[in-house]
Amino acid sequence: MKKGWKYYACLLGSHLMWPVLAIKSDQGLISFNGADSDSPVLVTTDYYMTVYRVTQAIEDQNLRCHLLVVDGRGINVWCGSRGGSVDTDSVLAAISSTDLEHRVSHRNLILPQLAASSVSKVVLSDNGWNAVFGPVEIENVGEFLENENKKSPEQSIAIFSIHRRMEYNLAHLTFETIMFLMITPIFWVLSFMGGPLLSWHSYWMTNLLLLLIGVWILGTFMALVDPLMPTSSGYVRGAITGVLALAVWKMVLLVFSFFSVATVVYEWAWLDASGLTILGLSLFVGFNWGGSTPQLGEGQMIRDIIAGIASLVVLFALGFYFPTGLF
Amino acid sequence: MIIYDYDACSGCQECLNVCPRGVWGFSKSKNKAEILNSKKCIDCTSCEFQCPVRAIRIEKTLIPKSPQILGQPD
């Protein structure tokens, strides 16, 4: 497969904008390297990037196998499995539509491990198919096949490498940039209502570029230091990053004021709109980022969202009533 | 929160096989799965869905809770 526009659209997180923008690949059975009726059958979902990566890995490892691409509504395996886009029926439907039972001599399927929360081996077995869950990373599938469908404990663990983190980061920050571009005119229009909203009139428009630069710096920082963070909570990560960013910002201001004693006292005590914005942006990026990581559970995500929205409301309120600073 | 029926576990190790977070371990001497690190659990429910004897249940709670292990000998 070539890296066409679909690849780059996936990389920029088109599916995050709206589920209908998720880019699909063709469903069906793909055979690699002269696979015959005895060759193993791997299963995956129809998200374009997933099929692209699986295809690349199969070609790189020169595997002689079939790939059954099932209907996952254009969502990747893990999200699709947790979100209900792919299940046992999807696999059975793909087996039926591709006439798989007449194209292979065996009845063995290698399922993606991350589909384990929705694809039932028992139901597949009842339908005459013996399924096993392969390794999390498709790069390990060659070794898995060589070891007669056995994997090491490490190959069952989802890893979040720096390369993967930077890819997620690119998709998320593109999404957040578009969100900011959309909400800025809304805040600008609202500012005409006057009262405390008046402070938004120039704030969002004049600071849009700074806000976007801030979002990209904060998001990239979180992606880089992900393994060093003491918690999986996106909210806490956002708060830690926000406090660090605030300290750095105040230090920069100090440097520019040539370290005058008055400025030292003044700047550090001052939590003005710029300080509140840095904290708010960091929390926003933090709990958005947290949702993409494989370390975050659903319960934690709900707690993050509740705490994040409450904090943003408080920061907005402080920005309304103390636009020139708190102290 | 993980609710694990220790007595019911058949020792098939399917939970170890499908857990992407390394929550589960296995005791060869007792032929039972064991919870190694419940804090790593992300409620993905893979172990619950694949357990052939329904020995595992994942309950989503807003406040984090320690796992409940039923029938484990002291």
Q: What is the ipTM of this complex?
A: 0.91
Asked if the C-beta of B41 comes within 8 angstroms of chain A's C-beta atoms, the answer is yes
Letter for the amino acid at A126?
Answer: D
Q: What one-character-per-residue DSSP string does A80-99 give?
A: HHHHTSS-HHHHHHHHHHTT
Pick among 3.40.50.11600, 3.30.565.10, 3.40.640.10, 3.30.300.130: CATH of A5-156: 3.40.50.11600
Would the pLDDT of A268 be above 80? no
How many Å lie between the alpha carbon of B36 and the closest alpha carbon of chain A? Answer: 13
Beta pairing, strands A28-31 & B56-58: unpaired
Please give the structure tokens belonging to residue A143: 């070794």
Contact B66, A321 (CB under 8 A): no
Assigned fold of B2-70: Alpha-Beta Plaits (3.30.70)
Residues of chain B found within 8 Å of residue A121, distances taken between Cβ atoms: 50
Asked if the C-beta of B69 comes within 8 angstroms of chain A's C-beta atoms, the answer is no
Closest CA to A167 of A52, A29, A276: A52
Closest CA to A219 of A13, A3, A47: A13
Asked if the C-beta of B36 comes within 8 angstroms of chain A's C-beta atoms, the answer is no
The β-bridge partners of B33 are B26
> How far apart are alpha carbons A286 and A278 in whole angstroms?
12
pLDDT digits (tens, 9 = 90+) for A166-202: 999 999 999 999 988 888 888 888 888 877 677 777 7
Asked if the C-beta of A158 comes within 8 angstroms of chain B's C-beta atoms, the answer is yes
Taking an 8 Å cut-off on Cβ atoms, the answer to whether B50 and A121 are in contact is: yes
Residues of chain A found within 8 Å of residue B21, distances taken between Cβ atoms: 157-158, 294-295
Contact A69, A51 (CB under 8 A): yes
Q: Where are the domains of chain A?
A: 5-156, 162-321
Closest CA to A299 of B2, B63, B4: B63
pLDDT digits (tens, 9 = 90+) for A36-88: 999 999 999 999 999 999 999 999 999 999 999 999 999 999 988 988 899 99
Q: What is the mean pLDDT of chain A?
A: 88
Beta pairing, strands A108-111 & A66-70: unpaired
pLDDT digits (tens, 9 = 90+) for A294-304: 888 888 888 88
Asked if the C-beta of B21 comes within 8 angstroms of chain A's C-beta atoms, the answer is yes
Please give the structure tokens belonging to residue A320: 């309304």
Q: What is the pLDDT of residue A154?
A: 93
Q: Taking the CA atoms of A261, A262, A266 and A267 in sequence, report the sign of the dihedral they define.
A: negative
Asked if the C-beta of A120 comes within 8 angstroms of chain B's C-beta atoms, the answer is yes
Q: Where are the domains of chain B?
A: 2-70
Query: What are B34-38's contacts with CB under 8 Å, separation 24+?
Result: B35/B2, B35/B4, B35/B67, B35/B69, B38/B2, B38/B66, B38/B67
Residue for token digits 């990373």?
A137
Taking an 8 Å cut-off on Cβ atoms, the answer to whether B22 and A157 are in contact is: yes
